[in-house]
Amino acid sequence: MLTNLGKKGIQNMDIPGCLLYTKMGSAPHLTHDTLETVKNVPVIAQLPFPALVELQEVMEEYKEGIGKFVGMPDSLVYCSLHDPAVISPPGYNNNKTVSIWGSGGRMEMMPAKFMTIQRALQPDWFQCLSDGDTVAGEVSKKRAKKSVDRSLSFLDECLQLQEEFPELQKSVMIGVIEGGDVLEERLRSAKETAKRPVGGFLLDGFQGNAMAKDTKLELLSSTVAELPEDKPRLIHGIGRPDEVLELIERGVDVFESCFPYQVTERGCALSFSYSYHPDPDGDVLEENGEPDMEGSKDKKTKTEILSGDEGMTAFEICLKEKRYQDDFGPLVSGCSCYCCQNHSCAYVHHLLMTNELLAGVLLMMHNFQHYFAFFHSVRDALKEDRLDKLKEIICRQAVQASPNTQRV
């Protein structure tokens, strides 16, 4: 558990856990009132930096911080450098600036400008400026070394500026571990960043499919081993349940919740089982060794799983499919979310087919609650020393994904 969080030092966060993904402080598709119906909402809200840049002048006059400004005074605010749902074009960073991509296009950030904006925002946590442009594919050792050198230089300058800004004295800076797929540079980045007075570490550059699974896991294991255990280890861009469990075993503490948003955007509902307790009425093995997922309609979609970031995963069902127009059951049998308790698959299918905004609202409520409940189950499994059982159940469902998909 992470304790004494926030500027007042009174918040706690159970780990492993995830952040609440938001668009400028609002959960996608949801109002603050509808978000309150979702159970187990994370205590830390993620606000991507690019959407906040244009608020600098307003926040400098407001003076009370971005959390209160967006109507989330009781949540801790983590400002990430990029939006995990947006792919940033590669090739625009240099020794002095990092390129940020927002609604208005490209913005070049020098440490001084970046920290001035953070001073106006006053987040509880914020990701330090870093050169993470090493995920588009295999990079040379020279480019990996450059990413580490730049990131350490940015970190030193940002730390110095933080000391000069009284508004940021209680904010926690998250140091960023870079280095591409070069183990030597990853270790150097981890060791050098750990020497600095940062409050946590972000393992950057592992998102996407460019890096082979074995390479990714080996790099993560070796890198995390160099980081102190008393500070949180975060990661961006990893959200599939099977991937999350692999990384938890390797010491990652905090993940994002962008994955359920992406599932919602393609008109799908999370439907995987995360119960690791023996249940004669569910999770029973069929003759082929697969779990009985009839309650979550999982068997209906196994033959239509696509590979790649834009395709469906083995953990969801697509409510756009015609088969759901006459299905008057809930999205997932036994789910306690507002959508499953009050509406049917047929209704959500109708909303999607008619492009009603309510479809996104209902799916987001369900997907968030399902995903947050998964992390709750992970923590319970760790307490009961049954994480292996949970991983077996999750991976059994994941094997139905395309064999060509090389993801963690």
Mean pLDDT of 252-273: 96
Mean pLDDT over the full length of the chain:
87
Mean pLDDT of 343-360: 97
Q: Report how far residue 3's alpha carbon sits from residue 322's, in angstroms, rounded to the nearest whole number.
A: 48
- From residue 228, how far is each of 13, 201, 223, 231, 232 by CA, in Å? 18, 9, 11, 6, 9
pLDDT computed for residue 310 by the predictor? 53
Q: Which of 190, 47, 203 is nearest to 126 (CA)?
A: 47
Per cent of the chain over pLDDT 70 is 88
Higher pLDDT, 149 or 104: 149
pLDDT computed for residue 162 by the predictor? 97
Mean pLDDT of 291-303: 40
Poorest-pLDDT segment among 199-203, 206-210, 337-341, 380-384: 206-210
**282 pLDDT tier (thresholds 50, 70, 90):** very low
User: What are residue 105's phi and psi, to 5 degrees?
Assistant: 105, -150
Q: Which of 156, 152, 132 is nearest to 144 (CA)?
A: 132
Whether the pLDDT of residue 405 is over 90: the answer is: no
Higher pLDDT, 13 or 114: 114
Whether the pLDDT of residue 408 is over 50: the answer is: no
Q: Which residues pair with 17 in a beta bridge?
A: 254
pLDDT computed for residue 304 by the predictor? 35
pLDDT computed for residue 103 by the predictor? 82
pLDDT computed for residue 91 by the predictor? 83
pLDDT computed for residue 219 by the predictor? 93
pLDDT computed for residue 309 by the predictor? 41
Residue keyed to tokens 């990893």: 238
Mean pLDDT of 375-397: 94
Whether the pLDDT of residue 327 is over 70: the answer is: yes
DSSP assigned state of 128: P
Residue 163 CB partners (closer than 8 Å, separation 6+): none
Q: What is the crossing angle of helices 358-383 and 387-398, to 10°?
A: 140
Per-residue pLDDT of 155-213, as tens digits, reads 999 999 999 999 999 999 999 999 988 999 999 999 999 999 999 999 998 887 778 88
| pTM, rounded to two decimals | 0.89
Per-residue pLDDT of 221-232, as tens digits, reads 999 999 999 999
Q: Which of 42, 31, 40 is nearest to 2 (CA)?
A: 42
Higher pLDDT, 69 or 294: 69
